[in-house]
Amino acid sequence: MYDPRDPVPTTGGNHLMTMNYFRGPLSQEKVEERDDILVYLTAPLASDIEITGPVKVVLYAASCAPDTDFTAKLVDVHPGGKTYNIADGIIRSSRRNQSAAPELIMPGEVYEYRIDLWATSNLFKAGHRIGVEISSSNFPRFDRNTNTGVSGRDSADLQPALQTVLHNERYPSHIVLPIIPR
């Protein structure tokens, strides 16, 4: 459930906010305790893995709202459990097809979303885990979606939305990482 009255708070990252918001890699454990974030982790890595280049998440999801957001964050989970953000991104469901005009979604219907996490470079050390966090907000870095089909600056109406993320053979949600051979 995503409630725009209680969005996931921005915790570090690549942003230019200055007042009360730290930039860069910050601990994400408190954020991951929330009920509105899905966390996917690899097993502890047997050897170092370097990623360098563009990162994206392909997400298959449905919402009960006519418009909503989906966010993705790549994280590095250290052996002791400390989790640090590496890259993140967002997509508005009505703008899922970037080469077409915005179009609201049909509530309950599954759509494919391609979330660009931009380019990065990180060496995930042996024993670490690669993690992906999926949510519907990262506020105030990204404006919160009202889930009404009306932009936040044009509407004071904030509606909660039930989000469903799929990851199965028919709907293979996944992250695309540019792994550099070592």
Does residue 11 sit within a domain? no
How many independent structural domains does the chain possess?
Answer: 1
- Residue-number span of the structural domain to which 117 is assigned: 29-180
User: For 40-74, what is the HEC assignment?
Assistant: EECCCCCCCEEEEEEEEEEEEEEECCCCCEEEEEE
- The H or E element containing residue 32 is helix 29-32
Does residue 15 sit within a domain? no
pLDDT for 98 equals 87
Does residue 128 sit within a domain? yes
Q: What is the mean pLDDT of residues 23-42?
A: 85
Does residue 138 sit within a domain? yes
Which range (20-29, 124-133, 139-148) has the least confidence? 20-29
Torsion of the alpha carbons at 62, 92, 119 and 168, rounded to the nearest 10: 10
Q: What is the mean pLDDT of residues 160-172?
A: 97
CATH number of residue 80's parent domain = 2.60.120.260
Does residue 1 sit within a domain? no
Who's near 37: CB < 8 A, 6+ residues apart?
Answer: 8, 31, 133, 134, 135
Count other Cβ atoms within 10 Å, centred on residue 144.
Answer: 20
24: confidence class by pLDDT, cuts 50, 70, 90: low
∠ CA 13-16-160, nearest 5°, is: 65
29: confidence class by pLDDT, cuts 50, 70, 90: confident
Does residue 152 sit within a domain? yes
What are the φ and ψ backbone dihedral angles of 153, each rounded to 5 degrees?
A: -75, -15
Instruction: Identify which of 36, 14, 12, 16 has the alpha carbon closest to the alpha carbon of residue 116.
Output: 14
pLDDT for 154 equals 61
Does residue 2 sit within a domain? no
Does residue 154 sit within a domain? yes
Task: Give dist(CA 36, CA 133) in Å, integer.
Answer: 10
